[in-house]
Amino acid sequence: MTKLLASREALLMVAIAFLLAIIAWRFPAFVVPSNLLAVFNDTSPLILLAIGQMIVILTKCIDLSVAANLALTGMVVSLINIAAPGLPVIFIVLIAMGFGTLLGMFNGILVWKLAIPPIVVTLGTMTIFRGIIFLLTEGKWVNSHEMSDSFKSVPRADLLGLPILSWIAIATVILFTIVMTRTSLGRAFYAAGGNPHAATYAGINVGKTQFWAFTISGAIAGLTGYLWVSRFAVAYVDVAAGFELTVVAACVIGGVSIMGGIGTVFGALLGALFLGIIANALPVVNISPFSQMAISGGAIIIAVIVNAQANRTPGRIILKKAEHAK
């Protein structure tokens, strides 16, 4: 029981419950099951991207291009839909995931083969991807009336009382929980970030593992790109602008260590839900967007402090007399 209460996930669950209790006190209608399911659905894109980002961060890297990947992939599939409105949606989804995967591979190759710092690579590709969108469209938008009905219907389609978008997020959480805890690739992600030297001695190619992390993140971002533009029925250059920072924040709040090697899929899920609840609830209780930013920023700082304290190991005291003399 003590171990459970000491875990980051348990603490975050308590924080989410406390947050919901405060909101319910001010606005009881927010915590009815139907509205909470709607909040989960609104948070699903963040959940998807947070899982991909978590995998990258585990390997001691960071991907600042996830939102730009989302925007570029979303624009590409929107233009394909305009050119071929009769193309089955399953092919659109596969194209989105494939294109996002290629963008992720591009990041991974630069980090792996050229040994360029990940933050520099992804900061550059973030700008490149946004620039490509402008070149493709000359700054023009793709609006709802230009998209086919089948293209727009998938995220909103209802299955057993939940939109398909929510089911995709749930399936992704389950899939990567299995991958991270039951496969050699998942263990390699943890090893590559937790102790790269030991991982190398164990026969793990750290650079290649980081490449696969970026590849997976790119595939998830590509899928989310289609889901985003089809759900909101619009595609333009600045889609999800700045969202990459929210994704990183969800990971940090969820207990994923920026130093690598520590974090869980469940933690990333809870971090995303925490931010999703804040984004949906605070405007309802008449809290300004500026206060919302302050609350989110404060949560990030607290999460970083908690992570730092949890990861700190006490040093070994060699000269006990000198220690007591201080």
Tens digits of residue pLDDT in 306-321: 766 666 655 555 555 5
What is the per-residue pLDDT for 320?
54
260 φψ region: left (φ > 0), alpha (ψ -120 to 50), beta (else): left
The sign of the torsion formed by the CA atoms of 196, 197, 198, 199 equals positive
What is the per-residue pLDDT for 241?
87
What is the per-residue pLDDT for 75?
95
Residue 107 inside a domain? The answer is: yes
Task: Determine the angle formed by the axes of helices 66-83 and 89-113, rounding to 10 degrees.
Answer: 140
What is the per-residue pLDDT for 293?
73
Domain holding 83, by residue range, is 36-241
Residue from 43, 69, 39, 38 nearest 223 by CA: 69
Residue 270 inside a domain? The answer is: no
Work out how many domains the chain is built from and give that number: 1
What is the per-residue pLDDT for 5?
40
Residue from 16, 38, 100 nearest 303 by CA: 16
What is the per-residue pLDDT for 319?
53
Residue 325 inside a domain? The answer is: no
- What's the angle, vertex CA 49, arms to CA 308 and CA 255, rounded to 5? 20
Residue 22 inside a domain? The answer is: no
Torsion angle defined by CA atoms of residues 205, 61, 110 and 238, in that order, rounded to the nearest 10 degrees: 150
Both tokens of residue 113?
């083969």
pTM value is 0.90
DSSP letter, residue 47: H
What is the per-residue pLDDT for 175?
96
Residue 145 inside a domain? The answer is: yes
Residue with tokens 């899939």: 175
What is the per-residue pLDDT for 314?
57
Using a 10 angstrom Cβ sphere, with 0-12 exposed, 13-18 middle and 19 or more buried, the burial of residue 313 is: exposed
Q: Which residues of the chain have pLDDT under 50?
A: 1-2, 4-6, 322-323
Residue 313 inside a domain? The answer is: no
Note the pLDDT tens digit of each residue in 237-265: 889 888 898 999 999 988 898 888 888 99
Q: From the CB of residue 232, how many other CB atoms can be counted at a distance below 10 Å?
A: 15
How far is 302 from 295, CA to CA, in rounded Å? Answer: 11
Residue 287 inside a domain? The answer is: no
What is the per-residue pLDDT for 2?
42
Residue 289 inside a domain? The answer is: no
What is the per-residue pLDDT for 300?
75
